[in-house]
Amino acid sequence: MLNRFLSRCLLIAASVVVLPAFAGKPNVVILATGGTIAGAGADAAKSATYQAAKVPVDKLIAGIPALADVAQVRGEQVFQIASESFTNEHLLTLGKRVSALVKQADVDGIVVTHGTDTLEETAYFLNLVVKSDKPIVLVGSMRPGTAMSADGTLNLFNAVNVAASKDARGKGVLVAMNDELNSGRDVSKMVNIKTEAFKSPWGPLGMVVEGKNYWFRLPAKRHTVNSEFDIDQIDALAPVEIAYGHGNVGDTAYRAFAAKGAKAIIHTGTGNGSVSNRVVPALRELRGQGVHIIRSSHVNAGGFVLRNAEQPDDQYDWVVAHDLNPQKARILAAVALTRTQDSKELQRIFWEY
């Protein structure tokens, strides 16, 4: 009897010893889409000359052994592209995969690795359409992994930490770059050659330092679980284009976009979304044909368009983009137009999101 008891104790002890290191830790899925964080160059001294989207997700994960101390991590290669080539179809595919994963009980958080050129657009899209309070964190890098002082490894480690954190729940889609935690709704790429490239005009939500999150503010706009939009009910995004305002601008681009089937045109105006008197007649004509005109601004940080302050928006039946930059305004319009064609409803949506 004593020998049997000792044998059972040894078996129990052995089973405890062989448990994997990540037992009991959160489950985080990394969805890889390419970009600089998966890039490689031939010269370690070159941080801006390289090929994006070369390193597969399994190698990214294997390059950070410390991830096993944070979470049980697995990866999926959704795309392997440079983000300037992202299309509406890529957004829908990625969004539906994120939506499917966050419904699983064995998934606690999602990390999306992404090229920085359109990272802010994807972050805002997911913020609008994924109905979950689980952490969804986008991450990229400004330097390829082969460069000296590459930033991708720490950025990815931080992103996994955040996605595994209970205190990151319910804050909308986040972007973890350069130790900052920004809202996917607000953040934009402001610089193209520095690691502190991503900024929000209203400041970050928090910081992540040595695996710990520090929060300073919460997002005020509707997102994720409080959004009226649902990726599972969207099969195609509305065609929306962006036309850039500048001195001596003409109406050629606006008319061309409308002729190609655009349902809305984001006017990227100077200052307060200003519209040249050379362009106003064309925009009024296009609105009369059913094309929505949405005034945004190309002021780099904090462009804020006031309704009826520069143009009589009520009279012309135009929409203002509030504080959204042109690329984010395009995302919101493309999503909103899947639900309504009413300009007053569109304006409500721009105020609330």
Spatial neighbors of 340 by CB under 8 A, at least 6 apart, are 346, 349
Q: How far apart are CA 324 and CA 318, in angstroms?
A: 16
Residue 313 assigned ligand-binding role: no
Which candidate in 36, 113, 195, 268 is catalytic?
Answer: 36
Spatial neighbors of 295 by CB under 8 A, at least 6 apart, are 267, 269, 273, 275, 305, 310, 311, 313, 318, 319, 320, 321
Residue 83 assigned ligand-binding role: yes
Q: Which two tokens stand for residue 194?
A: 């520095």
Indicate the DSSP class of residue 272.
T
CB 161 within 8 A of CB 208: yes
CB 222 within 8 A of CB 183: no
Residue 183 assigned ligand-binding role: no
Q: How far apart are CA 277 and CA 26, in angstroms?
A: 57
Which candidate in 33, 113, 116, 195 is catalytic?
Answer: 116
Indicate the DSSP class of residue 235.
S
Question: For 42-108, where are the E strands, in sequence order?
Answer: 72-81
36 noted as active-site residue: yes
- Read off the amino acid at residue 338: T
The closest of 298, 272, 305, 292 to 346, measured between CA atoms, is 292
49 noted as active-site residue: no
CB 317 within 8 A of CB 264: no
CB 305 within 8 A of CB 342: no
Question: What residues are designated binding site?
Answer: 83, 116-117
Question: What residues are designated binding site for substrate?
Answer: 83, 116-117
Which residues are tagged catalytic?
36, 116
